[in-house]
Amino acid sequence: MPSFFSNKKLIVLLTSLIVLIALISYSLKEGTRSTWTEQFVQDVVGGFQYVVNVPARYVAGFFQNVDDINNAYKENKRLKENLADYASVEQENRDLSMQNNELKAQLNLLKDPALSDFKKYSATMIGRSSDQWNQLITLDKGKVNGIKNGMPVITSGRRLIGSISKTGNFTSKVSLISDQQNVNQISAVIENKNSQPVFGMIEGYDQNKGVLLFQKIPIKANVKKGQIVTTSGLSGKYTKGLVIGTITHVTTDQYGLTKAAEVKPAANLNDLSYVMIIERKAQTSSSGGKGN
């Protein structure tokens, strides 16, 4: 009897061991597969995660976009400010360059050999009349600086702009060549290399066309568009050789006795800053010899 039960126990133990091994083998074989219970739980959890995570990602993305837009706005604002600063600096550089060129032109006038017989007074425009029919400008030089009525006023290139019409102690008024109230006529000439010079008179200004009226030109004179008109020096007021302007149009008077021309002023009378007042130096003479 004990031997039988002992054998029975052994059989049960072996059977149990075989079943255990079979179960382990089956578990290892089916390890990569999920049961329907596990699949159900996994799907429920996955769906819940999707429901929670998608809105969360959308909200996070929305705030990120808002932050990006805000940063872009600030950057755009900063760039606009830099652009405005750049435009301001660029305009300032242009103004300084223009001012520098004008001062260089003034220096060239001081050194101009054609004006060696003249006293020269550099001046700055500080005011202008608002009446278009009465073209007057105010300069920062007056009697204390030696300025007198009648002195010619020029700009770079010996371009004539007018003459001193009134002086104060520290300022003076310039009557421009475009001044309709300027009763002083200007004796003018066209210098031709291959023919005789052509003389005439500047006697007015056409405000609408912006041209001077060159009158009393001899009918047979060789006058054409593009010629340069200068002061002749015959009137005594303006020295010879100051540039008045360029002929733009030539006509004949209604009687066919003289010609007339329109002259565009050489100087930009609407844009004046620095000018030069000139005065011919007094001629001095000395006598030699000794008395007995």
What's the CATH code of the domain at 276?
Answer: 2.40.10.350
3-state secondary structure of 218: strand
Q: What are phi and psi of 198, to 5 degrees?
A: -110, 120
* pTM score: 0.63
Q: Is residue 222 part of a domain?
A: yes
Helix (H, G, I), strand (E, B) or coil at 147: coil
* Same domain assignment for residues 94 and 168: no
pLDDT in tens, 91-131: 667 766 666 666 676 677 777 777 788 888 999 899 888 66
Which comes out higher in pLDDT, residue 79 or 211? 211
Last residue of a domain, one of 95, 111, 127: 111
| One domain for residues 265 and 128 | yes
Quick one: 46 and 83 in the same domain? yes
Mark whether 188 and 58 lie in a shared domain: no
Pair (68, 208) in one structural domain:
no
Residues 98 and 138 both lie in one domain: no
Counted domains in the chain: 2
Q: Is there a single domain that holds both residue 151 and residue 236?
A: yes
pLDDT, tens digit, 9 for 90 and up, residues 3-17: 544 577 777 777 877
Q: 287 lies in a domain?
A: no
Give residue-wise pLDDT tens across range 227-262.
999 999 887 788 889 999 999 999 998 788 899 999
Cα–Cα distance for residue pair 59/36, rounded to 1 Å: 35
The residues near 262 (Cβ < 8 Å, ≥ 6 apart) are 206, 209, 211, 212, 213, 214, 247, 248, 249, 250
Same domain flag for 257 and 244? yes
Domain-located, residue 27: no
Last residue of a domain, one of 111, 136, 171: 111
Q: Are residues 59 and 106 in the same domain?
A: yes
Residue 52 belongs to what domain range? 42-111
Last residue of a domain, one of 94, 111, 128: 111
Same domain, 254 and 217: yes
When pLDDT is averaged across residues 264-275 and rounded to a whole number, the result is 89
